[in-house]
Chain A
Amino acid sequence: MNIRIIIRIAGIILLCEAALMAAPVIVGLIYHEPDSVIAFLITMAVTAAVGLAMFFLNRSHGQVFQREGFVIVTAGWLLISIFGCVPFVISGSIPNVVDAFFETISGFTTTGASILSDVEALSNSMLFWRSFTHWVGGMGVLAFVMILAPLLGTRNNYLLQAETPGPESDKLVPKARSTVKILYGIYFGMTLVLVLLLMAGGMSLFDSLIHSFGTAGTGGFSNYSDSVGHFRSGYIEMVIGVFMLLFGVNFKIHYFLLLKRKLSILKNEELITYIFITVFATVTIMVSIFRMFPSGWEAFRAAFFQVSSILTSTGFSTANFDIWPQYPRTLLLVLMLIGACAGSTGGGFKVARLVLIAKAAKRGVNRLVHPKAIKAIRMDGKTVDEIVLSNAGVYLILYIFIMVISVVILSLDNVTFEENLSSVTACFNNIGPAYGAMGPVGNYGGLSILSKLVLSFDMLAGRLEIMPLMILLLPGDRHLR
């Protein structure tokens, strides 16, 4: 493994993070928060110094292969989370280091799981930074770095593959960097439209930025304890609900629809399944919670918003869905596991993989009846390569392993089984709120350090889709050069 090039690129990532911290500094200056501004400035200086040192002490040029790509991605995400949590610690907003790390990694991985019991106590610049990490993490930190700095010429697609894996990697245009630019362009444009729509609904600029970041990255951090429910506005709930779903769609579809005007892309099987799941869940949940709300419209509002928020792995809430009947609670947990579309900012197992696995299972059963049958699996009219199928299977196995091991470790903390399973699910799939103490009105602050670290690992594993972290654990592949 070429450790020098890894350190060098990690240095570039830190430099970019230092640059990103200029945003909360500006917010701090606007709202006259000298303590927070100083905390950010100190962190910026330290991050930039470490980044520069890592960049310049390793002048050797080497090549990035698959393995280096995976290590860089994992190390990059860990490093930005470690340095990203420093402002919280220095300013005393979140004095405990593990808590601050949990909060930051929850931000970058767009989970939105919080350890804060009183969000509103944080300064505006801290709140801004917390939500800003969602926005950056949503589209990918390395992808962001790639726009700022042309990393490594032609070899950078290993990095992109490692960060945005999905079942099948599709570039929109031949160059990785151009693809990233297009994706970030769409992302930025959609975020901007959302900000304007929210402001039109009466939100302040600051609130609308915070909630747009949370929606765009499908993160879910809000600056109010009662999340989006705080605004008590049907308009805002519908706008955010629809946009969460939009950000949960594969960006390839946005690209072809918005920029290429190709309507045939709407026949995409994943998209159809995704819409079907949304409609089915919304309707059935609405029926089951109908009696809890004064009118049908309000029941629909609550059901639609919660389905959209959970399926896309955002984790905003307008109502405490933890007190809903068992059917919606169970269904929401299932939606957590499914997640959004591949190639979106959302987390979870991804609808595309689910469709693939279902097709493979159907073929497996079919094979019992016709043992000699050869049948290729097709998706969107194209044959799916057997390696892609096998990878989806491997992913499912690892997904279950990690869930099981995490649940077992968390049980040491003596939480109820429901809290345990739901919080592992909510973190691993980058949702945020779970049930019980970690529910929409609760937080993760009460857990032990071990549990918090395990959940942090789950969040990262979920965001990077497991494989990059597994490479680090493979014994034979850690040789350093």
Chain B
Amino acid sequence: MKIIVVGNGKIGSLISEQLVQEGHDVVAVDTQERVLRSLQSRLDLICINGNGATAKVLTEAGVMDADLVLSVSEKDELNLLCCLIARKLGAKHTIARVRTPEYSEQMDLIKNDLGLSMIINPDLATAQEIFALLRYPNVISVEKFSKGKFELAEMLIEDDCLLTQAPLHTIMANHGFRALICTVRRGSETFIPNGDFQIQKGDVISLSAQSEVMEEALKAAGIKSRVPRKIMIVGAGRIAIYLMEMMQKIGMNPTVIESDLERCRDISIRFPNALVIRSDGTEKETLFEEGFTDTDAFLALTGTDEVNILLGMNAINYDIQKVFTKISRNSLLELTESGEAGTVVSPGRIIADRVISYVRATATAGHGDVEALYHVANGTAEVVEFGVVSHNPRLINIPLKDLKLKKDLLVCCIIRNGKALIPGGNDMIMEKDHVVVVTVNRRLKSLDEILK
């Protein structure tokens, strides 16, 4: 695909790099000659010096036949303007980075009016990632499909739970379990389980469920989540604010340490239940005073990477269970091994991953009936979304349990009239549905191929 990346700071350059590695034709736009020079010498792409929110520069970058324009500069307004102009000039898809919390509340409005395909907010995405990892300790990753209508969560089964007690079909029948187990990774092998399959301790499973019921499903499965009670956050930037919003909803009340008075005031107004301490987070005395040693989770989210790394390392030394360290600069990210300073979260990397999976999905769309394609379980399994176009009488309007499906293949979701449905044996594929299929080691090009 031909992709234009406007703004090549920390996040932009990481995205450009990944896109080049994926084999796309990338044009990088930035106003800083120095940034472009480094990109140009490292990566196989074209650089254009100039303001990406101008028609002249965008035209020079070849916006007319661009498949995707990504605007990820520091400035929200510039990004939105850039996408607007790019759309007008003929770009097929646009993605804007919008980070201001006030703007993010009106996301849907902006998105539709400007014809944006996706809005990325690194701070929000980072907060979401931390939040998910805090709440579901065993969850390795959560992927959203079909425009967020349903999710696929990968997790490690650490202890005995509901899922390990009986073969899958009895669990499904007796407990009204509303999620579907799509893949099971045991050792180096990945299976698509059938009804007789029994999950064991140590398996990595992926569960698909509608976004709304995922939490419920995980709870029903008895996957214990040791939700941390005492949480300490150092640095009350945007990420912390998004995170606290999520925490507030489920009644988590963190301790926040921030040195800026204004910010402390702002936070205490927004989050009345949080304990806001105005102090320098690197002062040991303050940390201990506020019960550093018996916190369950420690989050180093200040604006300075080096401070975060040191705070994280310190927290690891005091055996704090969960330590999250935010690192923004790509160079430091490569130097810091995960574990030394707790779980490293990088807004850039998180966003780059999201963009890449979006690009992969769009790039594969339009081949046959495939609308989107994702890789899960370390790339061993594929999740493919099809639009139903065929009238194959062997496929349409037949209950799934009567279909003669190939091995290692599972229909894990049917989207009908914009609603996701986790299918049981009696559900049928109907015309105009969208069907999501998960397979192992197989390239499906059309929906008919799922039949034997």
Q: Is the CB of B33 within 8 A of A385?
A: yes
What are 21 A-B contacts defined by CB distance under 8 Å? A154-B20, A154-B43, A154-B44, A156-B44, A157-B41, A157-B43, A158-B41, A161-B41, A169-B40, A173-B25, A173-B46, A174-B25, A174-B26, A174-B27, A174-B45, A174-B46, A175-B25, A176-B44, A177-B44, A385-B33, A387-B37
Check: B21 CB closer than 8 A to any chain A CB.
Answer: yes
Enumerate chain B residues within 8 angstroms of A156, measured Cβ to Cβ.
44
Binary flags per residue of A146-162, CB closer than 8 Å to B gives 1, else 0: 00000001111110010
Enumerate chain B residues within 8 angstroms of A177, measured Cβ to Cβ.
44
- B: contact size bracket: 10 to 19
Enumerate chain A residues within 8 angstroms of B21, measured Cβ to Cβ.
153-154
Check: A171 CB closer than 8 A to any chain B CB.
Answer: yes
Contact of A174 among B37, B41, B44 (CB under 8 A): B44
Closest chain B CB from A78 CB (angstroms): 25
- A: contact size bracket: 10 to 19
Enumerate chain B residues within 8 angstroms of A169, measured Cβ to Cβ.
40
| A161 to B, closest residue via Cβ | B41
Check: A178 CB closer than 8 A to any chain B CB.
Answer: yes
| A387 to B, closest residue via Cβ | B37
Enumerate chain B residues within 8 angstroms of A320, measured Cβ to Cβ.
none
Check: A66 CB closer than 8 A to any chain B CB.
Answer: yes
* CA–CA, A232 and B33, complex, Å: 54
Main secondary structure, interface of B, reads mixed
Instruction: List which A136-189 residues lie within 8 A (CB) of chain B.
Output: 153-158, 161, 169, 171, 173-178
Instruction: List which B237-273 residues lie within 8 A (CB) of chain A.
Output: none
Closest chain A CB from B35 CB (angstroms): 13
Q: Is the CB of A66 within 8 A of B44?
A: no
Which of A171, A178, A387: most chain B Cβ within 10 A? A171
Contact of B25 among A157, A161, A178, A387 (CB under 8 A): A178
Closest chain A CB from B352 CB (angstroms): 15
Closest chain B CB from A225 CB (angstroms): 46
Enumerate chain A residues within 8 angstroms of B46, measured Cβ to Cβ.
171, 173-174
Closest chain B CB from A157 CB (angstroms): 5
| A386 to B, closest residue via Cβ | B33
Binary flags per residue of A353-382, CB closer than 8 Å to B gives 1, else 0: 000000000000000000000000000000
Known: A154-B43, A171-B46, A174-B46. 19 other contacts (CB 8 A): A66-B41, A153-B21, A154-B20, A154-B44, A155-B44, A157-B41, A157-B44, A158-B41, A173-B46, A174-B2, A174-B24, A174-B25, A174-B26, A174-B27, A174-B44, A175-B25, A176-B44, A385-B33, A387-B37
Enumerate chain A residues within 8 angstroms of B25, measured Cβ to Cβ.
173-175, 178
* CA–CA, A42 and B182, complex, Å: 60
Closest chain B CB from A396 CB (angstroms): 22
Closest chain A CB from B5 CB (angstroms): 11
Closest chain B CB from A2 CB (angstroms): 16
Q: Is the CB of A175 within 8 A of B44?
A: yes
* CA–CA, A403 and B25, complex, Å: 41
Instruction: List which B303-356 residues lie within 8 A (CB) of chain A.
Output: none
Enumerate chain B residues within 8 angstroms of A178, measured Cβ to Cβ.
25
| B19 to A, closest residue via Cβ | A174
| A155 to B, closest residue via Cβ | B44
Enumerate chain B residues within 8 angstroms of A174, measured Cβ to Cβ.
2, 20, 24-27, 44-46
Binary flags per residue of B21-40, CB closer than 8 Å to A gives 1, else 0: 10011110000010001001
Enumerate chain A residues within 8 angstroms of B41, measured Cβ to Cβ.
66, 157-158, 161
Binary flags per residue of B54-79, CB closer than 8 Å to A gives 1, else 0: 00000000000000000000000000
* CA–CA, A178 and B23, complex, Å: 11
* CA–CA, A116 and B41, complex, Å: 43
| B33 to A, closest residue via Cβ | A385
Enumerate chain B residues within 8 angstroms of A157, measured Cβ to Cβ.
40-41, 43-44
Closest chain B CB from A247 CB (angstroms): 25
Enumerate chain A residues within 8 angstroms of B45, measured Cβ to Cβ.
174-175
Binary flags per residue of A284-302, CB closer than 8 Å to B gives 1, else 0: 0000000000000000000
Closest chain B CB from A276 CB (angstroms): 27
Enumerate chain B residues within 8 angstroms of A154, measured Cβ to Cβ.
20-21, 43-44
| A170 to B, closest residue via Cβ | B46
Instruction: List which A384-408 residues lie within 8 A (CB) of chain B.
Output: 385, 387
Closest chain A CB from B195 CB (angstroms): 44
Closest chain B CB from A377 CB (angstroms): 14
* CA–CA, A20 and B66, complex, Å: 38
Instruction: List which A417-442 residues lie within 8 A (CB) of chain B.
Output: none
Among all A-B residue pairs, the 8 with the closest Cβ atoms: A174-B25, A154-B44, A174-B46, A174-B45, A157-B44, A176-B44, A174-B26, A154-B20
Enumerate chain B residues within 8 angstroms of A385, measured Cβ to Cβ.
33
Closest chain A CB from B63 CB (angstroms): 14
* CA–CA, A291 and B46, complex, Å: 53
